Amino acid sequence: MKLMELNKIDNFLLFNFLAKDKQNAKEIIEAGKGYIVPGIVSSDFANIEDGVRKVNELKEVAEVVSIGLGDNGNPANWEKVLQIAEGSEPGHINQPFDKTSYSIGYLNAKGIHQVVNGLVAPSGKVGFVTLSTGVEMKVEDLVDLAVAMGIESIKFMPLKGKTHLEELVYLCKVAAEKGVKAVEPAGGISSDNIVEIVNAVRPTGIPVFMPHVFGSTIDKETGRTIPEEVGKIIQLVMGDK
């Protein structure tokens, strides 16, 4: 899977930022020293064809593109994401956990092998997560299920900055111990808290950690991700490297 093979900071850290267009993707990849997976969200597109076109445009400058659900991780968008992925083979897609296994099987049957994450939400209690269906699960049970179903990555949202950091760290620790390759947090992540978040997760041994950083880096007027903000975040986590 290409995503897992990308060059990573300290051999574990990647970042996902939204890209408005090919030029914006190019700018943020350069600003992020290549440790960037540019993305789109399905909710930005009125139809599947427009989404496919946009992914193919971004693939001209990026090895892997990520398709997000959009609308704050709205599980209702899962099928739209899947259809855009079917037409564009982006490399990485976001799905509610309960749709991930189906999505992997659906794409595999068509010879399209992608990293499909499974989205869960914090429960407010360390050691438990909540599915989009409202079901609360023990982290150990969720990770066992992910491994059994071939789910390589778990998305954790909304992190709300550092509000659910302890829960995120626990999830990363269990995922690393049981063989899930990646954890992807989203929600309220910015240059103000990224170092603390990364440093908290670093000792867990999770092979791939990919924060999704959206709101704090997007120009509200143009909708473009600001390269300087991307560069600032990368500089902060890399320190003197």
Q: pLDDT at position 241, please?
A: 62
Residue-level pLDDT at 240: 64
Going by CATH, does the domain composed of 2-117+183-238 fall within 3.20.20.70? yes
Give pLDDT tens digits for 148-207: 999 999 999 999 999 999 999 999 999 999 999 999 999 999 999 999 999 999 999 999
Query: What is the average pLDDT across 208-215?
Result: 96
Determine the Cα–Cα distance for residues 144 and 163; give it in Å rounded to an integer.
25
pLDDT, tens digit, 9 for 90 and up, residues 115-149: 999 999 999 999 999 999 999 999 999 999 999 99
Question: What's the pLDDT band for 1 if we cut at 50, 70, 90?
Answer: low
Per-residue confidence band for 68, with pLDDT thresholds at 50, 70 and 90 = very high
- Tell me which DSSP letter residue 240 carries: T
Identity at 57, one-letter amino acid code: E
Distance CA 211, CA 221 (A): 24
DSSP state at residue 125: S
| Omega cis (within 30) before 158 | yes
Could you report the per-residue pLDDT of 76-86, keeping only the tens digit for each?
999 999 999 99
What's the rounded mean pLDDT across residues 220-231?
96
pLDDT value, residue 39: 97
Q: What is the pLDDT of residue 12?
A: 97
Percent of the chain with pLDDT over 90: 97
The arithmetic mean of pLDDT across residues 65-69, rounded, is 98
How far is it, in rounded angstroms, from Cα 213 to Cα 187? 7
Mention every residue, 6+ apart, whose C-beta is less than 8 A from residue 148.
none
Cβ(142)–Cβ(120) below 8 Å: yes
For residue 215, the model assigns a pLDDT of 86
Q: How far is the C-alpha of 6 from the C-alpha of 190, rounded, in Å?
A: 23
Sequence spans of domains, the chain: 2-117+183-238
Angle at 129 between CA 128 and CA 132, to 5 degrees: 155
Contact by Cβ (8 Å): 194, 211: yes
What pTM, to 2 d.p., does this model score? Answer: 0.96
